[in-house]
Amino acid sequence: MFGNWVKTSMLMAGIVALFGAVGAMIGGRDGMLLALVFGGATNLWAYWFSDKMVLRMYRARQVDESSSPYLHNMVRDLARRADLPMPKVYVIDEAQPNAFATGRNPENAAVAATTGIMQMLSERELRGVMAHELAHVKNRDILISTISATVAGAISMLAQFGMFFGGRDDDRPNPVIAIAMMILAPMAAMIIQMAISRTREFGADRGGAEISGDPEALASALAKIEAYARGIPMHAAEAHPETAQMMIMNPLSGGGLRGLFSTHPATAERIARLRAMVR
């Protein structure tokens, strides 16, 4: 828990610094100060509201025991096994099989699954996937994941301001540098996400296997998800690629620059580690 708070604090500090650098390139000293204030406000807002924003991006609808007893009761049972508070449960109307967890702590957590994953996986495999998401909650990965997704979008937006704003004196940036910042700032945000995401997926795989008591089920689910997800676009993720690192499997098509920013470790390695637990 302490380690995740350190990582979260470092991420927030890095985000504010990046905002300041972009602001300086766009508007000199005044631009840097304004961007630093904006970065601090964004961090504060993201801490409290980023989970709601992400769920809204995916048009997720909350379900309960009466509207989706299959998924709700499954999550409730797994939460008890993990000794976690019952999270809110959401369903996303997307054909691609995928799932994610969000929230600032276990007491304010939510898990979401697509209709595609519920239809495609067996009950045993889906239990493995939802246990994986609860492992993210238990490991307190969800805060840093959700904040990074939210502010990455904000950084991209800030960088784009370079096309429209700038000083009218010597502080005005070189147009080439401004364009470079418009490209590099979103890339920097993606690199931050990559550093977070790769190692935490292995930890959530192991934790999910322990919660469900069935490593092979999660391994089987990952193989199925990868096989089908590549051929089924996820429109919300394509519109908000900064949220891709929250998913159990990379939901992006991989075309263009997106292919350079894979936010998940190789599925084959994840499966091999899970099957090693079985042996």
Which residues are the active-site residues? 133
Q: In what order do the strands lie in the sheet with 61-63?
A: 61-63, 88-92, 109-114, 99-103
How many residues in the chain?
A: 279
Q: 172-210: b or e for each residue (b if 16 or more CB lie within 10 Å)?
A: ebeeeebeebbebbbebbbebbeebbeebbeebbbbbbb
Phi-psi map region of 272: left, alpha, beta (phi>0 left; psi -120 to 50 alpha) = alpha
Task: Quote the CA–CA distance of 174 and 183 in Å, as a whole number.
Answer: 15
Task: Quote the CA–CA distance of 26 and 48 in Å, as a whole number.
Answer: 29
Residue 42: which residues within 8 A CB-CB, separation 6 or more?
15, 19, 150, 151, 154
Estimate to the nearest angstrom the gap between the alpha carbon of 207 and the chain centroid. 18
Q: Are 45 and 151 in contact (CB under 8 A)?
A: no
